[in-house]
A and B are shown apart, each in its own frame.
Chain A
Amino acid sequence: MPILGAYCVNIDYERCTHCGTCVEVCPYNVYEKDENYHVHIGNDMACVGCRICMEFCPNNATHIKSAEPEANSRSLWTFPIVEQIHHQARTGGYLLRGFGTARRIPHFDDLVIVPSQLSSPPPLDKYREDCDVSVVIGEETADSPLILKIPIIFGAMSFGALSREAKMALARAACRMGTLANTGEGGTVPEEYPLAHGFNTMEELMACTNPGNGFGNGGYLAVQWSTGRWGVSLDFLQNADAIEVKIGQGAKPGMGGHLLGQKVGEEVAKVRGIPIGTDALSPPRYYDVLTSDDLRKQIAILRDVTDYKIPIMMKLGPSRPYKDVKLAAELGADAISIDGMAGGTGASPESVTQHAGIPTIACIPPAAKALKDLGLYRKVKLIALGGIRGGADAFKALALGADAVGIGAAAEIAMGCRACMACHLGNCPYGITTNKPELRARLDPVETGEHLANFLKAMTDEIKIFTMLSGHKSIKELSREDLRALTIDASAITGVKLVGSEKNTFRN
């Protein structure tokens, strides 16, 4: 029997017609009728939360809510779980949604930053001294390396998953801040490349004799080579500043991208080269890769068809970070992004989002160790993604061993998203994850691009603050010694010293 008083029972008397259905169906006598045949709540303490009254009320007038967090009052069987099982029982289908895992997993919040005082190099002055936050990708391998002015890039989010206007805003912000936007795996919109370089159109960019004449600091656009190969052509690859070979992603590691048919309108279908309204479900692996050596060959071909000018990056989902990153580096990637379980703007089966993958903070130290063991640390750049919400999270990722971080969900939120997790339905009321013209019209790419740039600037300032208060003049100096773990779990996972202890309880 559930705890007495575990539920709040409410009747909306503007809807209630006093038909008495709730009185009839409730086996616990929560409801009663008075002498005037009006329905009242007689004993809300008796409510067990079965919600039969809600099921049967013809006017949607009864409401049951947990008085305490459901995890306390209903243990494993929270109402969302119950509803999910009901849905599966009715339809035989599983649920899809976007926005990554919603469960509690070890996260950056389980780490704190150690400020510098007497026993370590003194803190630096954020207001009057410099702090190096730049990152270079492909310095030794590409004729035109990426020289990023900030250690934050945008994660891959495809056209189709995002609206054209959202893609334009991301490219514009990347240019304003001198960093990298990413097409994702859905081809590119015509404005994306010129906007990333400070021009509104390709014609303006081509006509300009001095690339520095564009707006912003000059950004970059990475294009994605993926298992679905949507919108990929020689032109697509040659109009890029970097190519990212996608192996996996945080939202659904081991599965390919999901773009549901309701988001495949005329424009998206044209860019991807697929029928309108059909689901674009990328395979989980490359059909044109049988062994890792085939991937090495592909990377060599990608370098060849782009005249050895641009860096080749690789994106991994959260799996076995040490071995995966080691292999990716051996295959020839110039930068390796690893997307933790907390990440995921993309649509995914709910159960996969909730249960597949490992936390972001568990990915970074082994990934960095793999590069160190190969003698490639700080040469092959490590980029951490997955649940990074601001400068503090970014700093912690850098201190755990990353060279840079990527943001996806946080970027969507900076564009106005409220994280309702219904991106896959294509009805985003803020014009971000929709292709419906009337909803897209709500997103101004210029203003939104400014908001994104502001967010990146604020994040970068926070990274500088934390870097300097911990006694460093460059993010390249950061290490796990700049962090402490608040929990034994986080310490064990990351190899960061447990707060209150000066010992590495767990080494990894």
Chain B
Amino acid sequence: MLAVKQEMERISEQEINGEGLDLRTVNQMIKNAIRESGVAVVSHSEYLSGLAAGLRTGNVFIKGGAGDFVGSLNSGAKLTIEGDVQNFLADNMTSGEIIVSGNAGYCAGPYCYGGNLVILGHSGNFSATMNKGATLVVNEDVGDDVGTYMLAGNIVVLGNAGEKLGHFLISGNIFIRGKWQSLGHNTNIDVLTSDDKKFLQQLFSKYRLDARPEEFTKIVAQTDRPFYSKKD
């Protein structure tokens, strides 16, 4: 995160101070800053829900953490958040990248179709619920029900997980280094392939995470039709 801090200091003169401003104003200021320089730095906005929602381009640095729904519907922007975030981080992201230096609250990364979400601290219950293609990386522990009804994408947990990990998993992969309290319905433990190892190694290198693919267990779905329909 040193490089991130240096980058923040470099552009701090353009900083958007969110104190006392409403969501519409702050998000419009972020869009304007991105239009002008490709970069926006935001501070004192942790009370806002939906900060930096719906961005297609740009680098956004958020100081001091963020509230609920930060980075919702992200569609290509890179968000770097210094501090903790509240609930529903990156809701329904389809592409782009969001990095959080602290912890994420309840249900980080729900309903995402794509993009990378990297949480360097812990992440709460129901993270990556109904994931349909994004990659969630959590450097420490995750809560219960993580990856519930995931249909595609990847979850990588470097720490431990709570109850019902991957509950009603349909497709996609969960890679976990630590222990889990229980696995969810319709899950199986599988062997990492060479592609899996390559994928994980690239992630660890990109985000400078201290981990080796061989340390991980892979969890997959038993079947992609656990409800009414059955395979022919």
- A residues sitting closer than 8 Å to B (CB atoms) are 96, 228-229, 232-235, 237, 260-262, 273-275, 277-279, 281, 283, 287-288, 290, 294, 297-298, 300-301, 304-305, 308
Contacts and interface: CB of A to CB of B under 8 A. Distances in A.
Contact of A273 (B53, B106, B152): B152
A33 to B, nearest CB: 45
Given A229-B111, A279-B227, A288-B91, A234 B152 contact: no
A443 B152 CA distance: 33
Scoring A235, A275, A283, A301 by chain B CB atoms within 10 A of each residue's CB, the highest score goes to: A301
Nearest to B111: A229
Interface of B is mostly: loop
Q: Which 4 A-B pairs have the closest CB atoms?
A: A261-B229, A305-B54, A301-B50, A229-B111
Scoring A237, A294, A308 by chain B CB atoms within 10 A of each residue's CB, the highest score goes to: A294
B49 A300 contact: yes
A297 B151 contact: no
Contacts of B107: 287-288
Contact of B54 (A278, A279, A300, A304): A304
Given A287-B126, A304-B23, A274 B229 contact: no
B111 A261 contact: no
25 contacts: A229-B111, A233-B73, A233-B92, A233-B94, A234-B75, A234-B94, A273-B113, A274-B151, A274-B170, A274-B171, A275-B151, A275-B152, A275-B170, A277-B231, A278-B171, A278-B224, A279-B229, A288-B91, A288-B110, A290-B106, A297-B49, A301-B53, A301-B54, A304-B54, A305-B73
Contacts, number: 105
Nearest to B132: A273
A261 B151 contact: no
Interface in B45-74: 49-50, 53-54, 56, 68-69, 72-73
B54 A232 contact: no
Interface of B: 23-24, 27, 49-50, 53-54, 56, 68-69, 72-73, 75, 87-88, 91-92, 94, 106-107, 110-111, 113, 126, 129-130, 132-133, 148-149, 151-152, 170-171, 224-225, 227-229, 231
B153 to A, nearest CB: 10
Given A277-B229, A288-B91, A300-B23, A232 B111 contact: yes
Given A273-B113, A290-B87, A297-B69, A229 B170 contact: no
A235 B75 contact: yes
Given A283-B149, A305-B72, 9 more contacts: A96-B228, A273-B113, A279-B225, A287-B148, A297-B68, A300-B49, A301-B53, A304-B23, A305-B54
